[in-house]
Structure 1
Amino acid sequence: MPDDRVEVEEEPVSETRLSLTADCGSCFGLCCVALPFTASADFAINKEAGKPCRNLREDFGCGIHTQLRQKGFNGCTVYDCFGAGQHLSQGTFGGTDWRREPKSAQQMFEVFPVMRQLHELLWYLNEALTLAPAKPVHADLRELLARTEALTGGSAEELARLDVPGHRQQVNLLLLRTSELVRAQVPGKKRNRRGADLIGAKLRKAELRGADLRGAYLIAADLTGADLRDADLIGADLRDAQLAGADLTGAFFLTQPQVNAAKGDPSTRLPGRLTRPAHW
């Protein structure tokens, strides 16, 4: 059966007016304040939600940005807000930061995770619209994308009241259908490892083309030389997964944070929309 899927080897054309790429220079360091840290392999310190990280500068930049991994802040290097930070800072709150307007701080920090989830959903919906086999649901995808973007334009009060899990479920149902349509174009039997516990699994050179790996735990799994073409990787945990020589060409619903958390090398093949991490 011919694979008529559009290879996503170039930056997908965005259907939304919003930027889904983080612009830290236009953000008030929200991920460095709003989110909690727990001392672990990902963070060198404990930090409460709403408390500024000790490395946050007065200009909202990171004082150890070029040394995050060396200083024990690996978690920061694999985080992406999908553009939610600058949208909230410059749009929702009109460019007034929480230091100049302390009364807005708590509300700003509370709705940041909401905006981040909406932007992540926009990312998935945009990608789904680049997939040719999903054409039967493109109209539904565009409608849901427009609704999601409209939600991001709400006030801080409206964002705080938003039923994010309910909206996310609607999006997920459509993304599931998209996945089924795309993977159906892949010849041969496809593996279903959705939500599977594959922590530390030995999957060297595994044939996983067109596999359903949604939400799979692939922490520290050995995927050296594995064939992951056209696999659905939405929500898969790839922390410390070995991707040396793996082929992820056409893998979909794969995000930059997932790639950043894994371990690859120059021979790892990635979809063109993603950037090869510097630490590889």
Structure 2
Amino acid sequence: MNKVDCVCAVGAQLGEGPLWSAPEQAVWFVDIKGRQIHRFDTRGSVLNSWAAPEEVGFVVKAPHGRFIAGMKSGLYSFDPVSGGFNSIARVDSDKPRNRLNDGYVDSAGRLWFGSMDNAESQPTGSLYRFDKRGLRRCDEQYVITNGPTASPDGRTLYHVDTLERVIYAFDLHDGELSNRRIFTRIEKPDAYPDGPAVDAEGCVWIGLFGGWAVQRFAPTGELLQTIEMPVANCTKVAFGGNDLRTLYITTAWKGLSKEQLATQPLAGGLFATRVGTPGVAPNEVRYDG
């Protein structure tokens, strides 16, 4: 049994996108519905927060100590020193109900992210790639997108269709995707796959929204491990610590009734547990803007 601790009881309505920053020994993450970017300093257990002008789905590392934030209307440069946001690229401007929902930077510095229907009902979401060549739609017809993430060798990209309870795998070569196939389906009752992350052995970790757990799958799609959680809505994991063996888990209280929330007072907190296999350090976007 993995011992799971709430390291930061931030109470995020929809916590998402944990990101380990080794120089700071800190975890960055967002509260999408709360329009907050959070930084949790693991050395002193100090939480700093920045208000975002829109719902913010993710932050990823960018050059010069900045970040790229995926928000409702598109991609923005975020400077934590000034707290300022500057627009980089509009996304789905013809679909005003959409917002951005999860992001990942591959080893070549390409940003992959998804858009989704904010009402969670229409298949208006897409999977995008953003790099020095610009913005490109790579797949579409999603209601709720999550991920993506990529295998350690950079040859496979994983992407989640949450409502269909499916994780897809694509062949990834020089930034191009092909051969979409089902990697695995989530079988746990009432559980929906949320954000994925990959460890050093190429296994895929999935947060289960409504599933009270995080699960680890082999590169073949076989379920290897389930870590039970004290809250229902687990959204995504990130590997941190000096050995990348501390698993940080964002959670949410979104969708819980007052009665359910009363039995889950730590819902929306940032959790941590130790795991046997290290993760892969996050990459920085190669972006000249």
Does the TM-score normalized on the shorter chain lie above 0.5? Answer: no
The one of the two structures with greater contact order (alpha-carbon pairs below 8 A, sep at least 6) is 2
| TM-score when normalising by structure 1 | 0.30
TM-score by length of 2: 0.30
Q: Which has the higher helix share?
A: 1
